[in-house]
């Protein structure tokens, strides 16, 4: 059995939530940068079309701009899902505190040494 306590589990889940939030913010930043590049690429497509560049090159540049914009939109959606995950992790920590902190406090206050206790004895049936 893993050596984990309620407090360690709560700390790990809270850290996960913070990490997911931080990563989602980074993804949103990257998505904004990609969107900006897509707009610039679309503008370049129009500029090269005005200069009389061959239609195939113009079409490829326009298509690249569309693909880049699609990547930006997908990245933003992914970050949004990450935000939901972070909120769920925070809710799990809150629920664990509400459900188990009283038990942990009682165990911490108990003068009885339970370090050698067989965990299967206290496992619900």
pLDDT tens digits, 39-62: 999 999 999 999 999 999 999 999
Mean pLDDT of 32-36: 96
Place of tokens 């980074």: 26
Q: Is the pTM of this model over 0.85?
A: no
Q: Per-residue pLDDT for 1 more than 60?
A: no
- Weakest-pLDDT range from 44-48, 58-62, 66-70, 101-105: 101-105
Question: Tell me, what's the pLDDT at 2?
Answer: 61
pLDDT of residue 103: 72
Better-scored residue on pLDDT, 83 or 50:
50
Tell me how many helices (H) and strands (E) the chain has: 2, 0
Across residues 9-33, what is the average pLDDT? 88
Q: At what angle do helices 6-50 and 55-109 cross, to 10 degrees?
A: 170
pLDDT at 37 over 90: yes
**Exposed/middle/buried for residue 124 (C-beta within 10 Å: 0-12, 13-18, 19+):** exposed
Backbone angles phi, psi at 22, to 5 degrees: -60, -45
| Contact by Cβ (8 Å): 60, 122 | no
């Amino acid at each position: 059995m893993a050596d984990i306590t309620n407090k360690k589990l709560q700390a790990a889940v809270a850290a996960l939530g913070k990490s997911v939030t931080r990563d989602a913010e980074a993804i949103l930043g990257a998505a904004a940068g990609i969107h900006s590049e897509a707009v610039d690429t679309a503008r370049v497509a129009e500029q090269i079309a005005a200069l009389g560049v061959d239609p195939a090159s113009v079409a490829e540049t326009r298509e690249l701009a569309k693909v880049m914009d699609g990547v930006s939109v997908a990245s933003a959606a992914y970050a949004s899902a990450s935000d939901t995950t972070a909120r769920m992790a925070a809710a799990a920590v809150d629920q664990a505190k509400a459900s188990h902190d009283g038990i942990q406090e009682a165990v911490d206050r108990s003068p009885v040494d339970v370090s050698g206790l067989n965990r299967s004895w206290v496992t619900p049936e």
